[in-house]
């Protein structure tokens, strides 16, 4: 990685995190600046040292980041700003194969680990903050017909697994207990996540406050033509313009969206972890 890019990545993620926490939106100029600086420094270093190594590294890093960003964006786990910030990191850090595990791969591992912990802690905070609504949502979801069917099925599976302990060898018992606990945990964590989402993340906002990438939870039509729906991967500027036209004619003033958690701080924490610990995987090998 080009040394000066550590500085660009650090401050880029720091400012992006501040914007994300305060406004739930990361300015395009900031993410595009990170991408531009990544390729710009790569071109400069490649020119100075008469080698394409730096430029190839930036391109490979960007492409890998693009792939990961699109997967998480399409899955609804990241917003557009998070995805673009990942691309910026890919271009800045690059992807080099020098015989050791690439720095960018270590950063990705950090992001996945820190992201999982960060997301869980944030969801607990939201559940506590919206305690009454969370309890109500949890009860509603757990009593839904489909969820009841899944719940009964899982209960049967867990009971059968526990009964199997009576006839299984001692060495296998911990494995079976682990499977039973995992199935039980995954089900209730799913219900818990949906309850947090419904209680604390779904809300109505004025149409003029919509920003590109917001996840709309309603199907909106105008003259029998669909403007947007929950199936869209984030609302576009064109869709926002059409929705504003609806408001102009007093046909609609608010819209229901799902507000995501400010996820960029987990990127920043993961990068600081990289700076402090480097390749921590060496300690495990």
Can you spell out the DSSP letters for 235-285? Answer: --HHHHHHHHHHHHTTS-SEEEEEPPP--HHHHHHHHHHHHHHSSGGGGT-
Q: What is the pLDDT of residues 160-202, one digit of tens each?
A: 988 888 888 888 888 889 888 998 898 999 999 999 988 988 8
CA 10/CA 275 separation, integer angstroms? 9
Give the per-residue pLDDT at 32.
Answer: 96
Class (C level, CATH) for 3-117+262-283: mainly alpha
> For 230-236, what is the mean pLDDT?
80
In sequence order, what are the residues at sequence separation of 6 or more whose Cβ sits closer than 8 angstroms to the Cβ of residue 238?
none
Burial class (CB in 10 A: 0-12, 13-18, 19+), 171: exposed
CA 68/CA 77 separation, integer angstroms? 11
HEC sequence for 59-112: HHHHHHHHHHHHHHHHCCCCCHHHHHHHHHHHHHHCCCCCCCCCHHHHHHHHHH
Beta bridge partners of 201: none
Q: Domain-by-domain residue ranges, the chain? A: 3-117+262-283, 129-201, 215-258
Tell me: pLDDT of 282 over 80: no
Q: What is the pLDDT of residues 113-131, one digit of tens each?
A: 999 999 899 999 999 999 9
- Split at pLDDT 50, 70, 90, the class of 234 is confident
């Amino acid at each position: 990685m080009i040394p000066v890019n550590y500085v660009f990545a650090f401050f880029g993620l720091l400012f992006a995190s501040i914007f994300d926490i305060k406004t739930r939106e990361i300015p395009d100029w900031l993410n595009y600046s990170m991408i531009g600086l990544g390729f710009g420094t790569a071109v400069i270093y490649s020119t100075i040292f008469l080698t394409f190594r730096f430029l190839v590294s930036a391109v490979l890093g960007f492409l890998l980041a693009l792939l990961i960003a699109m997967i998480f964006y399409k899955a609804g786990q990241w917003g557009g700003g998070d995805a673009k910030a990942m691309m910026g990191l890919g271009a800045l850090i690059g992807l080099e194969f020098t015989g050791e595990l690439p720095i960018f791969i270590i950063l990705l591992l950090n992001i996945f680990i820190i992201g999982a912990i960060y997301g869980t802690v944030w969801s607990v905070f939201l559940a506590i903050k919206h305690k009454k609504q969370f309890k109500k949502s949890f009860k509603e979801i757990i009593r839904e017909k489909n969820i009841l069917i899944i719940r009964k099925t899982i209960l049967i599976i867990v009971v059968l697994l526990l009964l199997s302990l009576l006839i299984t060898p001692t060495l296998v018992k911990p494995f079976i207990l682990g499977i039973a606990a995992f199935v039980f945990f995954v089900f209730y964590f799913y219900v818990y996540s949906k309850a947090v989402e419904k209680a604390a993340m779904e809300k109505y906002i004025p149409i003029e406050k919509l920003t590109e990438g917001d996840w709309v939870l309603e199907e909106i039509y105008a003259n029998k033509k669909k403007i947007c729906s929950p199936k869209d991967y984030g609302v576009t500027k064109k869709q926002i313009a059409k929705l504003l036209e609806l408001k102009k004619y007093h046909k609609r003033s608010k819209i229901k969206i799902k507000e995501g958690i400010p996820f960029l701080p987990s990127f920043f924490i993961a990068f600081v972890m990289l700076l402090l610990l480097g390749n921590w995987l060496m300690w495990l090998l």
